[in-house]
Structure 1
Amino acid sequence: MDATMLVAGSMIGSGIFIVSADIARNTGSAGWLMMVWLITGFMTLTAALSYGELSAMFPKAGGQYIYLREAYNPLVSFVFGWTFFTVIQTATIAAVGVAFAKFTAYLLPALDEDVTVMDWGFLQLSAAQLVSIAVILLLTIVNTRGVNSGKAVQTGITVIKIVSLLGLVLFGFFAFNLDVWRANWLSGNAWHLHRLNTDGSLAEYTAFAALGAVAAGMVGAIFSSDSWHASSSVAGEIKNPGRNVGLSLALGTIIVTVVYLLTNLMYTGVLTMEQMAASDKDRVAMTAAREIFGPLGITIIAIMIMVSTFGCNNGLIMAGARVYYSMAQDGLFFRKVGKLNRFSVPGVALWLQCIIASLWCLSGKYGDLLDMISIVVVMFYVLCIIGIFKLRRSRPGAPRPYKAFGYPALPLMYILMGTAFIVLMIIYKPDYTWPGVIIALLGIPVYYLIRRRSSLPPNSDVGNSK
């Protein structure tokens, strides 16, 4: 239960309430809006079912870091850990923190992102940025007090937000607007893939650009579905990890995928595509709530999203620190990060993560962070799933309490789809995708610098269980 709620809670954050506006602009139709979420759901579930084999083989804290180390070598796992620390986890924590602050501002306008608290010329500090940092700080303190404190918050909040989302869906279907449904699904444009601008104007795509539009739409959906591997990062603290990690990955992703599909179907029953695309600051859930509940809807959805993002960040903070802890245990990170505090959790790792995530809160906008995170996230997912094929060949006799579902067809499909997404993102959204790739590649010289200082041979398998 706790591991499944960690997975689901880390997945459900701010994205489902926001990103459908951008998907609507990129796809322009209800059919393709749902198709983006279906493709992403299929990829996420396929990856989770494939990761079950890896989690059963290596039921240790560290998750992907451990899998990459075992399948490849310490260099590949370090580059992942480096990217996880500098971009993937810390920027995700920041993006979710920023979203929490944005919706808090609906209830307390003095905390809006447009309210400047400090202005140093080269850097302006808004009230929303301070709120996002404060939330990250609070949850870091909670998690330094022991895993029981973190899991109690996580399980409780995740149950609340799943029930709340299903409640929103249910009320949305009660408020079903037949004219809106016809406009979205029965007008002949349900599968017309085109650009829909906020002013209602349309732009057609060329054949190849249409693929780029689908990939661009998937950025938000992938971000919303990310962190499904959270339980694998804390495997060392889960009972019977060989069974329960893989099971929690499967159950958590199935629950969230179904909830996401129902939520977006509900959107198409209460909002036209034009309304979704033009939602104020992309807050499509706010627009839908206003149609469902009237003026009271804004308050209801704002509270829902505050609870959702709070719980999501708790799961991200809890899981992320265990990766840096595993790196330090291998001699590839600051030595103190590999120490447990008196509550038996990696306290130094948690505080270091808190500092970097807070810096991202100061520098990155929500959409820009999404672009940078999504491409590097999928890159390492693809590498991990290729690792399943590699380990089947290099360690055929290794114990595999659970084997990847649908092997080799489903893992291979994920590899092909993930690679296509990466290529299309580099072509069509280069401004923030290239920086994410460059930050990842910078991990290579950093790895060799650390190896030289520690006087270990470059290809040493320190920490490797082979």
Structure 2
Amino acid sequence: MSETKHELKRSLGLIDATSIVAGSMIGSGIFIVTSQMARDVGSAGWLIVLWLITGLLTMSAALSYGELAGMMPTAGGQFVYIQRAYGKLASFLYGWTVFTVIQTGVIAAVAVAFANYTAVFFPALENKILEFGESYSFTNKQVLAMVSILLLTYINSKGVKSGKTLQLIFTFAKLFALFALIFFGLYVGLQSDVLADNFTNMWQASKTVLNSDGSISVTQLTGVALLGVMGATIINSLFSSDAWNNVTFIAGEIKEPKKNIPRSLFLGTTIVTIIYILANIAYLALLPMSGTPDGSSVAENGIMFAAQDRVGAAAANVMLGNIGVFVMAALIMVSTFGCNTGLVLAGGRIFYAMAKDGLFFKKAAELNQHDVPEKALWFQCVWACVLCISGKYGDLLTYATFASLLFYMLTIYGIFILRKKEPNAERPYKAFGYPFIPALYIFMTALICIALLIYDTVNTGLGLVIVALGIPVYYLFIDKRK
């Protein structure tokens, strides 16, 4: 009796793929990062400009990736694109960074965010299980975070149909909830003068720093200083908009991938960009831009000093009173759990593609009876859980920010390389606005990287160290393969 041959099944349509793009992008960032950005630029006008630039950069990158996705509609996505343009070492360094930090680090951080907001309803989750001095503690929240990762990995190991159903349910739930938040936020906010006040002197930028003694320092920003600070703080909104490329990892399971992947990238990034800009306008309609850290109400704290940077919760408090905290906590629980559904589903496919090339653990290249790379999913799960235990996922994500942007630029420059190397290759979709839009993305992202090198030298350097550590590991894999 012959053995059943297992292969990836193309069972995901355009709506499924779009829900993975949008669902993977929307996590907890949109409810938090605006506070930090407000402190950095101090201006409603420049704040909206930053979110608009973020959306345009994300959409232009997604439209550029569409060409590569049409050329290479196979599992692994960005890993495969980089390998075809630059060779195996570059693609391994990308895969190494994705495994050690980017994918697993995001999964861990999102899982802990889910646990943090679950603790609003169940305070016992805050209890410590282990404690080592003041530097480390292990709490029930970390246990819940790991349980959520284990659960999602188990569900996704039972077939792509299970994963896509869960993804669709949670994506539509959080899109509905976000549109409701925006609609009611604007409805309530526009009945006051808060929005008009925030847009008075809307281009006067300043950086506000909370000092260790509780006082605040304000520095006016103009010219090069303003551009530098904007280039550094935009990383907050960029990473709230990240993970859109995850849909390319599962190209081997998408129907008509040459059409549906480019379309899903455009639709998903456009939907999220619109939501994010409208959400920030709703915040500005409900809360003053400026505030004080010791304010006695959410209005006195303002967007800048929302408690624990939870500007979404502060906005909900204005609309609904104290119950707003619970409503927002529930929304973020849905948002983060749904976000991780897509991240877990997609992440295993890149490690599957790496294993097929001999650049990851051999077992990760196997498909189970449900035609999914179960062992690759569990490798991802184990490392994400380790990061939850370590409590260092947030630091690792910061270190990887710079490296991640470099890989985006590298991948999009690959379009230029492949146009020259393979002029006759099939391209069912060509990058929108080529060569200007891809070149503009590379130029703008390079400026952001320069700003990060100047304003956040330590973290950008550590990001490069993480990438560089992959070089000896690559040669270990190559030697083992030989």
TM-score if structure 1 supplies the norm length? 0.94
Q: What residue number does 1:237 align with?
A: 253
Q: Is the 8 A contact 2:195 2:286 kept in 1?
A: yes
The alignment status of 1:45 with 2:59, answered yes or no, reads: yes
Deviation of residue 432 (structure 1)?
2.6
Q: What residue number does 2:339 align with?
A: 312
- Of 128-137 and 30-39, more deviation after overlay is shown by 128-137
Partners of 1:250 and 1:220 in 2: how far apart?
A: 21
Q: What residue number does 2:471 align with?
A: 444
Partners of 2:361 and 2:394 in 1: how far apart?
A: 31
Deviation of residue 48 (structure 1)?
0.3
Deviation of residue 209 (structure 1)?
3.5
- 2:218 alignment partner AA: L
Partners of 2:123 and 2:228 in 1: how far apart?
A: 37
The alignment status of 1:170 with 2:183, answered yes or no, reads: yes
Q: What residue number does 2:299 align with?
A: none
SS at match of 2:73: coil
The alignment status of 1:79 with 2:93, answered yes or no, reads: yes
Partners of 1:367 and 1:214 in 2: how far apart?
A: 22
Distance 1:335 1:370, change over 3 A: closer
Q: What residue number does 2:170 align with?
A: 157
Q: What residue number does 2:4 align with?
A: none
- 1:84 alignment partner AA: V
SS at match of 2:368: coil
Q: Deviations over 1:204-245 (max 9, x none)?
A: 347444233212321221111101112111010011111111
The alignment status of 1:296 with 2:333, answered yes or no, reads: no
Of residues 226, 237, 252 in structure 2, which corresponds to 1:221? 237
Partners of 2:143 and 2:350 in 1: how far apart?
A: 27
Q: What residue number does 1:405 align with?
A: 432
SS at match of 1:204: strand
Q: Deviations over 1:104-137 (max 9, x none)?
A: 121112223xx32212457420222222112111
The alignment status of 1:144 with 2:157, answered yes or no, reads: yes
Partners of 2:68 and 2:209 in 1: how far apart?
A: 43
SS at match of 1:174: helix
- 2:246 alignment partner AA: A
Q: Is the 8 A contact 1:87 1:436 kept in 2?
A: no
Of residues 270, 277, 280 in structure 1, which corresponds to 2:304? 277
Q: What residue number does 2:113 align with?
A: 99
- 1:356 alignment partner AA: W
Structure 1 stretches lacking a partner, 5+ long: 456-466
- 2:372 alignment partner AA: V
Partners of 1:120 and 1:138 in 2: how far apart?
A: 29
Q: Deviations over 1:151-193 (max 9, x none)?
A: 000011101101100000001011115321122102x2x1122
- 2:478 alignment partner AA: R
Partners of 1:442 and 1:237 in 2: how far apart?
A: 32
The alignment status of 1:340 with 2:354, answered yes or no, reads: no
Q: Is the 8 A contact 2:45 2:199 kept in 1?
A: yes
Q: Is the 8 A contact 1:172 1:292 kept in 2?
A: yes
Partners of 1:206 and 1:116 in 2: how far apart?
A: 46
Partners of 1:119 and 1:365 in 2: how far apart?
A: 15
Partners of 1:164 and 1:322 in 2: how far apart?
A: 30
Partners of 1:32 and 1:104 in 2: how far apart?
A: 33
Partners of 2:97 and 2:159 in 1: how far apart?
A: 26
Deviation of residue 375 (structure 1)?
1.7
TM-score if structure 2 supplies the norm length? 0.91
Instruction: Name the count of aligned residue pairs.
Output: 451
SS at match of 1:125: strand
Q: What residue number does 1:179 align with?
A: 193
Structure 2 stretches lacking a partner, 5+ long: 1-14, 291-301
Q: Is the 8 A contact 2:105 2:394 kept in 1?
A: no
Partners of 2:457 and 2:146 in 1: how far apart?
A: 28
Q: Is the 8 A contact 1:12 1:224 kept in 2?
A: yes
Distance 1:63 1:15, change over 3 A: same
Distance 1:382 1:156, change over 3 A: same
The alignment status of 1:119 with 2:106, answered yes or no, reads: no
Q: Is the 8 A contact 1:11 1:226 kept in 2?
A: yes
Partners of 1:233 and 1:344 in 2: how far apart?
A: 15
Q: Is the 8 A contact 2:85 2:417 kept in 1?
A: yes
Of residues 18, 24, 28 in structure 1, which corresponds to 2:32? 18
Deviation of residue 369 (structure 1)?
4.5
Q: Deviations over 1:137-159 (max 9, x none)?
A: 11111111111110000011101
SS at match of 2:138: strand
SS at match of 1:175: helix
- 1:108 alignment partner AA: F
Partners of 1:137 and 1:360 in 2: how far apart?
A: 13
Deviation of residue 367 (structure 1)?
5.4
SS at match of 1:124: strand
Q: Is the 8 A contact 2:400 2:466 kept in 1?
A: no
Q: What residue number does 1:59 align with?
A: 73
Q: What residue number does 2:22 align with?
A: 8
The alignment status of 1:262 with 2:278, answered yes or no, reads: yes
Q: Is the 8 A contact 1:219 1:370 kept in 2?
A: no
Q: Is the 8 A contact 1:9 1:154 kept in 2?
A: yes
Q: What residue number does 1:129 align with?
A: 142
Q: Is the 8 A contact 2:102 2:397 kept in 1?
A: no
SS at match of 1:277: coil
Deviation of residue 38 (structure 1)?
0.8
Distance 1:200 1:168, change over 3 A: farther
Partners of 2:216 and 2:85 in 1: how far apart?
A: 49
Deviation of residue 196 (structure 1)?
2.3
- 1:327 alignment partner AA: M
- 2:119 alignment partner AA: A
Partners of 2:343 and 2:228 in 1: how far apart?
A: 29
Q: What residue number does 2:8 align with?
A: none
Matches within 5 A, 1:447-458: 447-455=474-482
Distance 1:351 1:83, change over 3 A: same
- 2:203 alignment partner AA: W
Q: What residue number does 1:460 align with?
A: none
Q: Is the 8 A contact 1:322 1:349 kept in 2?
A: yes
Distance 1:143 1:285, change over 3 A: same
Q: Deviations over 1:45-90 (max 9, x none)?
A: 0000000000000000101000001111011101100111001111
